[in-house]
Amino acid sequence: MRKFFSRAAEMYIDGFRSMTVGKKLWLLIIIKLIIIFAVLKLFFFPDFLGASCDTDTEKAAKVRQEISDESRRY
């Protein structure tokens, strides 16, 4: 089992070392993930219901109210 994991790790390390176009791709992936998770998710996409309700019961009551509210009509 240990041999399997060391061979797997070696494959990843050697793979990353010998990458050509891959280095640019990994840079792109890392920048993208940082923007998505550390900027967009954190600052622009909060959990809307979670922010105003603590429990599932409160969330259910809020949604029940919202979806049956007459102001939601066209």
Partner 1 sequence: MDDLISVIDWSRAQFALTAMFHWIFVPLTIGLSLIVGVMETIYYRTREENMKKITQFWMTLFAINFACGVATGIILEFEFGTNWSNYSWFVGDIFGAPLAIEGIFAFFLESTFFAVMMFGWKKVSPGFHLSATWLTSIGVCISALWILIANAWMQRPGGMEFDPEQARNVMANFSEVAFSSTAMNKFFHTVLSGWVLGGVFVVGVSCWLLFRKSNEEVARRSIKIGGWIGMIGILLTMWTGDGSAVEVSKTQPMKLAAMEGLYRGDAGGQSLVGFGILNPSKTLDNDEDPMLFSIDIPYGLSILANHDMKSFVPGINDIIDGIELTENGDTIHGISYDERIALGREAHQALRDYNTAAKAGDENAKTLAAERLKANFEHFGYGYFEDASQAVPPVAITFYAFRIMVMGGGYLLLFFIIALLAVYKFKGLLKNRLVHILGVLTIPVVWIVSEAGWVVAEVGRQPWVIQDLMPTRAAVSAVSASSVELTFWIFVVLFSGLFIAEVSIMIREIRKATKQEILNR
Cβ 51 to partner 1, closest distance in Å? 9
CA 1/CA 62 separation, integer angstroms = 52
Least distance from partner 1 to the Cβ atom of residue 2, Å: 17
In this structure, which amino acid lies at residue 8?
A
Give me the residues that bind partner 1 (CB under 8 A), please. Answer: 7, 10-12, 14-16, 21-22, 24-26, 28-29, 32-33, 35-36, 40-41, 44-49, 56, 59-61, 63-68, 70-74
Minimum CB separation from partner 1 for residue 16, in Å? 8
Give the single-character DSSP code of 20: S
- Give the C-alpha distances (Å, rounded to integers) separating 28 from 22, 24, 40: 10, 6, 16
